């Protein structure tokens, strides 16, 4: 496969992937969708990257503080991302340039640089809470088995697994599929763990209230926690800027070409939206049904691992904690490995080097200091939620860059897609501003 860093025309798919698409010629849409679903694509990578510490914190706090009322946030955030990534897939697969170079050419170097730098910064910053989450979950799981493992030591164990996973990705299209299969296994395991908890409390769950939770609404603040803070955090966590950078390159690493546009769009729905929506819904429902907030309780001391301990009353003191801990570990592990991959691509693009270069390898290693997360990331929720928002500030600029790229490139992007992208950018910007502006200018809102 042509390396994404050499600047050559890469619109042609690999022979194996081209043969797969050609084999579907003349078949019905449903037959093609069935084949796409069985084969799978890089959409699972996007789902795995976003199912990390930020999503875990958002889901636990949304369920505990507001019950089912913020169930709509995660799917709305993901739909915004799908609109953008769907257009980005078309632009990338039909372009002969690397995505970063194409962005710089059609939207301007400042927006392209903001895209890559934002992805790099987000990947490094978000590494710390991933290890804090993974270390705490491994430590708690060990405690269930009667062993004492400090979260800091557990975090280094997670690094020992994540590092070879990140190096595995991208060597060949076949290895890319192997990596995606590992990630898919982790995602299915995460969903199964959370689904078991929800199944055990299903008889006491108000499913009508669950359904109403998918209708957008903004509840009143509770316990000093503004719903806008969680809404902004949830929208930003759903599709991070490092995901937006990694996505077009993951298509290339898979060996896809311009004939895979339909497959890419379907894969965003089946591989990214559905797993993410199911996982966040299960965590929110499980948390709302087992550890709802009561007036006067301390909000700031709640962590996802505390939720695992609380589920002991549902599945038993051993199984309840272990099941939820395994789900948290799977979320963090998949995200950690992909952060390293995204960081590698960001450095490779900023320096102009290709994938497989020393710049790429060094970039892959840059987030490793995040393994110190258990030492310095003490108050997970009140750092994780603002970090979601801060990293989310890069997204509107990136989305504007994608809009400009789509208007100025040779790829035909319809007016409806452009309008949806503009609406998505506006929704994200307004949600972030609704949380940040009152905090930056409090005197204006007294």
Mean pLDDT of the chain: 79
Percentage with pLDDT > 90 across the chain: 13
Indicate the pLDDT class of residue 1, thresholds 50, 70 and 90: very low
Mean per-residue pLDDT for 305-321? 63
Range from 84-88, 163-167, 289-293, 296-300 carrying the lowest mean pLDDT: 296-300
Identify which of 123-137, 149-163, 168-182, 382-396 has the greatest average pLDDT.
149-163
Q: First and final CA of the chain: distance in angstroms?
A: 59
Tell me the CA distances in angstroms from 210 to 38, 67, 215, 272, 389, one per residue in order. 30, 9, 10, 22, 26
Return d(Cα 313, Cα 322) in angstroms, integer: 12
pLDDT in tens, 164-192: 888 777 666 677 677 777 777 777 777 77
Q: Please indicate, yes or no, whether the overall pTM of this predicted structure exceeds 0.75.
A: yes
* 185 touches 403 (CB < 8 A): no
Per the DSSP assignment, residues forming a β-bridge with 89 are none
Which secondary-structure segment (H or E) carries 419?
helix 415-440
Indicate the pLDDT class of residue 343, thresholds 50, 70 and 90: very high
Whether the pLDDT of residue 70 is over 90: the answer is yes
Range from 2-6, 62-66, 442-446 carrying the lowest mean pLDDT: 2-6
Mean per-residue pLDDT for 35-43? 86
**Angle at the Cα of 118 (from 114 to 121), degrees rounded to 5?**
140
DSSP code of residue 71:
T
More confident residue, 268 or 326: 268
DSSP code of residue 27:
-
Mean per-residue pLDDT for 355-363? 84
Mean per-residue pLDDT for 252-269? 88
Whether the pLDDT of residue 4 is over 50: the answer is no
More confident residue, 359 or 408: 359
Whether the pLDDT of residue 301 is over 60: the answer is no
Tell me the CA distances in angstroms from 360 to 256, 345, 357, one per residue in order. 21, 6, 5
Instruction: Quote the CATH superfamily of domain 43-437.
Output: Amino acid/polyamine transporter I (1.20.1740.10)
pLDDT for residue 360? 87
φ/ψ of 334, rounded to 5, equals -65, -40
Return d(Cα 179, Cα 419) in angstroms, integer: 35
Could you state, in order of their start, the residue ranges of all structural domains in the chain?
A: 43-437
Percentage with pLDDT > 70 across the chain: 82
Where do the H-state alpha helices sit in 145-172?
151-168
């Amino acid at each position: 496969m042509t390396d994404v860093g050499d600047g050559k025309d890469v619109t042609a798919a690999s022979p194996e992937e081209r043969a797969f698409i050609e084999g579907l010629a003349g078949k019905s849409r449903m037959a093609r969708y069935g084949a796409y679903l069985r084969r799978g694509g890089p959409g699972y990578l996007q789902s795995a990257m976003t199912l990390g510490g930020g999503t875990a914190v958002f889901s636990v706090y949304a369920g505990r503080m507001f019950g089912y009322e913020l169930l709509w946030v995660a799917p709305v955030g993901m739909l915004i991302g799908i609109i953008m990534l769907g257009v980005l897939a078309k632009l990338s697969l039909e372009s002969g340039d690397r995505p970063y170079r194409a962005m710089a050419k059609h939207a301007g170097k400042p927006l392209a640089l903001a895209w890559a730098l934002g992805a790099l910064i987000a990947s490094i910053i978000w590494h710390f809470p991933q290890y804090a989450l993974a270390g705490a979950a491994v430590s708690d799981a060990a405690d269930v088995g009667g062993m004492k493992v400090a979260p800091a030591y557990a975090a280094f164990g997670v690094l020992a697994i994540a590092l070879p996973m990140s190096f595995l990705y991208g060597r060949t299209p076949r290895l890319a599929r192997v990596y995606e299969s590992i990630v898919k296994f982790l995602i299915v395991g995460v969903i199964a763990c959370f689904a078991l908890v929800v199944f055990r409390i299903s008889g006491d769950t108000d499913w009508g209230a669950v359904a109403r939770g998918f209708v957008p609404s903004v509840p009143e603040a509770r316990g000093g926690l503004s719903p806008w803070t969680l809404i902004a955090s949830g929208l930003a966590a759903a599709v991070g800027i490092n995901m937006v950078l990694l996505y077009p390159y993951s298509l290339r690493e898979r060996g896809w070409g311009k004939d895979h546009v339909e497959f890419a769009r379907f894969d965003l729905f089946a591989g990214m939206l559905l797993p993410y929506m199911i996982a966040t819904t299960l965590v929110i429902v499980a948390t709302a049904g087992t550890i709802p907030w009561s007036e006067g309780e301390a909000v700031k001391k709640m962590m996802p691992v505390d939720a695992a301990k609380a589920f002991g009353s549902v599945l038993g003191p051993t199984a309840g904690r272990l099941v939820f801990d395994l789900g948290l570990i799977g979320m963090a592990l998949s995200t950690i490995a992909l952060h390293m991959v995204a960081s590698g691509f960001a450095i490779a693009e900023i320096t102009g080097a290709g994938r497989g270069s020393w710049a790429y390898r060094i970039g892959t290693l840059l987030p490793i200091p995040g393994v110190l997360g258990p030492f310095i990331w003490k108050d997970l929720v009140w750092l994780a939620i603002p970090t979601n928002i801060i990293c989310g500030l890069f997204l509107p600029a990136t989305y504007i860059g994608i809009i400009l790229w789509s208007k100025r490139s040779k790829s035909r992007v319809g007016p409806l897609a452009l309008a949806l992208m503009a609406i998505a950018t506006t929704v994200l910007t307004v949600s972030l501003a609704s949380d940040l502006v009152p905090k930056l200018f409090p005197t204006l809102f007294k």
